[in-house]
């Protein structure tokens, strides 16, 4: 190499060492505000979910972690367990910062751990039922911050119900409505009777849920079980079982991954039943939290009033974001599968690998670990075409922070769009190349079709990120003239 360049090499290397850890940040959008309600210690899965949640905590502004009751733990809460896991996080947080910016310090998180009342359901809602947790929810909503607050309900939501009850009682309708509009709820089924009460009493509240109680068999029908419900519900044919096995968890999460991995308990019933609530929020290019019908790692939901089922505690009174169905061709068994659970398990290998990589970040230096690719589009995310026109799709500009070789896959995701055909998905030509193309199908009225770019690196573990392109299809000119 030229002498002058050689002389500056040490400086260049030093600059690169500072730049590399933040190379994978570029695709992160505005941080979301999150607040967790957890019946942790009723079984191991809440602790498992909290471990994973903390490895993504740099993507969000964590507003609170509130210990609550549920139908499985009606008279006690376990905030002490949250603190145990946070102390383990404190030991690995400096290493996580080597890989991405923004991981909150333990000193900040521990002040946001709060307690709900140790009572069940609606017994904790009403006059004199305020708690540290419900008051904290109100204070978070009252902040001078217009961003939505994502309330992730892993247990019973009576703490949220009390906060909403008090807001309605103590504020003017206009003041209350301003706070209600900030609330986004993703609840893991109904784990007490306050969930149906909230949906009935606050009809405009944004609410994602698979309604129903476990005692009535409701969990068997819920979307969220797609994360790992194979052994719990009978095997999901076509789902990747290897990446949720006890052997995989031991090797990739629990052992040799520092103090945080050591806090990840063995699976008792099913792995991380609460995790879909925040998988839904991860900034991966696929998820779009304000559009549950778009689909992503946390599942896909549609807005309607669910028809009453025997596992409901009471009839639903208004539309909510509830279970939707995907059809997916699985390469594992070479068959098509159609169910609400498919909307989660179709992405299982990708989100499990992503978690494994973040657990590596807890103990490895930047150059020893893998980091997700950064996909790009050479055009906008919204394209327009008339029936019969050819549309070019391009991922030019896509990069990988570790310099790994990348694979590309373009595919039509039919369910989020309005276009439907008995002929199935719209064919993508050169679907495994950086540049692909599609032919806009015949339509008689304006329709939309969603195309997903899936970019996967060849690091270890292999990591995936996405881009979504929405094609707006118009009828051919001769049809509208």
User: Is 56 buried (19+), middle (13-18) or exposed (0-12) by CB count in 10 A?
Assistant: buried
pLDDT value at position 479? 60
From residue 362, alpha-carbon distances to 46, 267, 337 in Å are 20, 21, 36
Cα 328 to Cα 422: distance, rounded to the nearest angstrom = 15
Residues 145/40, Cβ–Cβ less than 8 Å: no
Residue 254's alpha-carbon distances to 107, 243, 282, 366, 414, in angstroms, are 24, 13, 22, 20, 37
How would you label 427-446 residue by residue, b for 16+ Cβ within 10 Å and e otherwise? ebeebebbebbbebbebeee
The pairing of beta strand 335-339 with beta strand 320-323 = unpaired
CA distance 125 to 201: 13
Asked if residues 238 and 337 have their Cβ atoms less than 8 Å apart, the reply is yes
122's tokens: 């609606």
What pLDDT was estimated at residue 148?
A: 98
Instruction: Give the CA dihedral 19, 22, 24, 27, nearest 10 degrees.
Output: -120
**pLDDT at site 216:** 74
Q: Residue 115 in contact with residue 105, Cβ under 8 Å?
A: no
Token duo for residue 229: 């419900």
Q: What pLDDT is attached to residue 4?
A: 34
Contact yes or no for 369/360 (Cβ under 8 A): yes
User: Taking Cα atoms as reference points, which of 441, 451, 450 lies closest to residue 475?
Assistant: 441
Residues 6+ apart with CB under 8 A from 94: none
Which pLDDT does position 422 carry in this prediction? Answer: 78
335/343 Cα distance (integer angstroms) = 15
Tens digit of each residue's pLDDT, the chain (481 residues) = 333 333 333 333 333 333 333 333 333 458 999 999 999 999 999 999 999 999 999 999 999 999 999 999 999 999 999 999 999 999 999 999 999 999 999 999 999 999 999 999 999 999 999 999 999 999 999 999 999 999 999 999 999 999 999 999 999 999 999 999 999 999 999 999 999 999 999 999 999 999 998 877 789 899 999 999 875 555 678 999 999 999 999 999 999 999 999 999 999 988 999 999 999 999 999 999 999 999 999 999 999 999 999 999 899 999 999 999 999 999 999 999 999 999 999 999 999 999 999 999 999 999 999 999 999 999 999 999 999 999 999 999 999 999 999 999 999 999 999 998 878 899 999 999 999 999 999 999 999 999 999 999 999 999 999 999 999 999 998 665 5
Question: In whole angstroms, what separates CA 307 from the centre of its chain?
Answer: 26
CA-wise closest residue to 68 among 208, 218, 217, 195: 195
Structure tokens at 114: 């709060």
Domains and CATH numbers, the chain: 21-356 (3.90.245.10), 372-480 (2.60.40.10)
Integer angstrom CA distances of residue 206 from 39, 152, 199, 234, 312: 22, 12, 9, 32, 19
Q: What integer pLDDT is reported at residue 423 of this predicted model? A: 81
């Amino acid at each position: 190499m030229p002498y002058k360049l050689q002389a500056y090499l040490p400086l260049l290397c030093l600059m690169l060492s500072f730049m590399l850890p933040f190379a994978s940040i570029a695709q992160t959008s505005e941080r979301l505000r999150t607040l967790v309600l957890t019946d942790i210690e009723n079984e191991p899965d809440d602790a498992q979910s909290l471990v994973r949640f903390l490895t993504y905590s740099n993507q969000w502004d964590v507003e609170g972690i509130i210990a609550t009751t549920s139908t499985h733990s009606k008279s006690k809460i376990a905030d002490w367990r949250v603190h145990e896991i946070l102390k383990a996080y404190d030991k690995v947080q400096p290493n996580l910062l080597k890989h991405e910016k923004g991981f909150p310090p333990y000193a900040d998180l521990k002040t946001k751990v709060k307690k709900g009342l140790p009572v069940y359901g609606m017994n904790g809602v009403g006059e004199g039922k305020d708690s540290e947790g419900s008051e904290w929810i109100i204070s978070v909503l009252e902040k001078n911050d217009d961003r939505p607050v994502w309330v992730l309900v892993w247990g019973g939501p009576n703490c949220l119900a009390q906060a909403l009850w008090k807001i309605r009682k103590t504020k003017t309708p206009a003041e209350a409505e301003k706070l209600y509009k900030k609330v986004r709820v993703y609840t893991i089924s109904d784990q007490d009777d306050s969930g149906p009460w909230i949906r009935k009493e606050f009809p405009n509240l944004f609410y994602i849920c698979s309604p129903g109680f476990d005692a009535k068999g409701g969990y068997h029908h819920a979307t969220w079980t797609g994360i790992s419900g194979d052994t719990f519900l009978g095997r999901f044919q076509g789902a990747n079982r290897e990446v949720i096995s006890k052997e995989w968890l031991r090797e990739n999460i629990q052992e040799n991954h520092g103090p945080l991995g050591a806090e990840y308990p063995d699976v008792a019933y099913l792995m991380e039943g609460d995790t879909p609530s925040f998988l839904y929020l991860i900034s991966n290019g696929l998820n779009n939290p304000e559009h549950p019908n778009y689909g992503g790692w946390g599942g896909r939901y549609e807005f309607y009033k669910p028809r009453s089922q025997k596992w409901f505690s009471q009839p639903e009174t208004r539309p909510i974001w509830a279970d939707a169905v995907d059809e997916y061709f699985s390469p594992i068994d070479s068959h098509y599968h159609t169910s609400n659970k498919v909307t989660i398990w179709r992405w299982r290998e990708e989100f499990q690998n992503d978690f494994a990589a973040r657990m590596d970040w807890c103990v490895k230096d930047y150059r020893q670990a893998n980091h997700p690719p950064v996909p790009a589009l050479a055009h906008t995310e919204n394209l327009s075409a008339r029936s019969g026109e050819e549309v070019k799709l391009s991922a030019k500009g896509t990069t990988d922070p570790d310099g790994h070789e990348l694979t590309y896959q373009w595919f039509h995701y039919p369910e989020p769009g309005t276009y439907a055909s008995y002929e199935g998905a719209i064919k993508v030509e050169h679907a495994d190349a950086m540049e692909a193309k599609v032919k806009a199908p015949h339509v008689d009225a304006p329709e939309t079709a969603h195309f997903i770019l899936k970019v996967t690196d060849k690091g270890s573990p292999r990591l995936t990120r996405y881009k979504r392109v929405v094609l707006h299809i118009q009828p051919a000119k001769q049809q509208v003239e």
